[in-house]
Amino acid sequence: MRKPFIAANWKMNKILKEAVEFTDDFKLYVKDVKDVDILVCVPFTLLSGMKKEIEGTNIKLGAQNLYYEDFGAYTGEISAPMIKEFAEYVLIGHSDRRAFFNETNQILNKKIKKALEHGLKVIYCIGEVIEERKQGKTKQVIETQLREGLANINDLSNIAIAYEPVWAISRGDPDIPAATPQAAQEVHSFIREMIGTLYGKETSQQLRILYGGSMKPSNVKELMAQEDIDGGLVGGASLKADSFAEIVNFRK
């Protein structure tokens, strides 16, 4: 019922030449894929070039952040209307932004509203850090991130959630293990239950919940086999065309 959704988050990686090389290969590897939504979230500097690169393909384009004002004296920031010229999607609330740029649920709520107001689709990222997990606070953290991040947002049809347990994110280390499929499923099912409580059953059944944290070709199948895991948000393994294509082609 929910179409699988596999998204790349390149984070602060690739110059245009590398992005073009990636895309030249990647679009061939995935050209016949119809039953999976494919998204690549790139640095702002690549939006314009990538828009041209993916034209006419089954690959969608996203940004990784935005600022919650439209225009003005906000040196160094990029707004929703600026992104909308090039991309369909935006990531909001990635743990890197929460950790290194002090983005709170309240700030993220403003960003989500602004993105939706301008017709962007949002992937709202949530997830607990290791200390919170060890203290048994995972569900409490997730609930707060959902309640505060989505406060006063009534329509979730242009939102997907990415659950990214921060302790499972590779940060370039391929030896960091992903969450087990069972541990991931437990939280995904909790997220769906929470959305059901806040928005009703129909919305919760339609919502796509992506898993992020060391997803790779070797574990994508078992993660995607879980009932409430509808996709992936892939960091390290999305930087190479062949490995990201293998993830997109997880059914093969």
Q: Which residues bind ligand 13P (CB under 6 A)?
A: 9, 94, 164, 169-170, 212-215, 233-237
DSSP code string of 221-249: HHHHTSTT--EEEESGGGSSHHHHHHHHT
Minimum separation from the CB atom of position 238 to ligand 13P (A): 7
Minimum separation from the CB atom of position 215 to ligand 13P (A): 6
Q: Do 148 and 109 touch, CB atoms closer than 8 A?
A: yes
Minimum separation from the CB atom of position 190 to ligand 13P (A): 20
Q: Do 213 and 238 touch, CB atoms closer than 8 A?
A: no
Annotation marks residue 94 as catalytic? yes
**Catalytic site residue from 53, 128, 132, 164:** 164
Q: Which residue, 105 or 203, is less far from ligand 13P as judged by CB?
A: 105
Annotation marks residue 188 as catalytic? no
Compute CA 150 distance to the chain's CA centroid, rounded to the nearest angstrom: 16
Which of 111, 70, 66, 107 is closest to 87 using CA atoms?
66
Q: Which residue, 114 or 216, is less far from ligand 13P as judged by CB?
A: 216
**Catalytic site residue from 94, 128, 143, 188:** 94
Q: Which residue, 44 or 199, is less far from ligand 13P as judged by CB?
A: 44
Q: Which residue, 172 or 200, is less far from ligand 13P as judged by CB?
A: 172
Which of 234, 239, 209 is closest to 219 using CA atoms?
234
Minimum separation from the CB atom of position 93 to ligand 13P (A): 10
Token pair, residue 163, equals: 């659950």
Phi-psi group of 181: left, alpha or beta (phi > 0 → left; psi -120 to 50 → alpha; rest → beta): alpha
Residues with active-site annotation: 94, 164
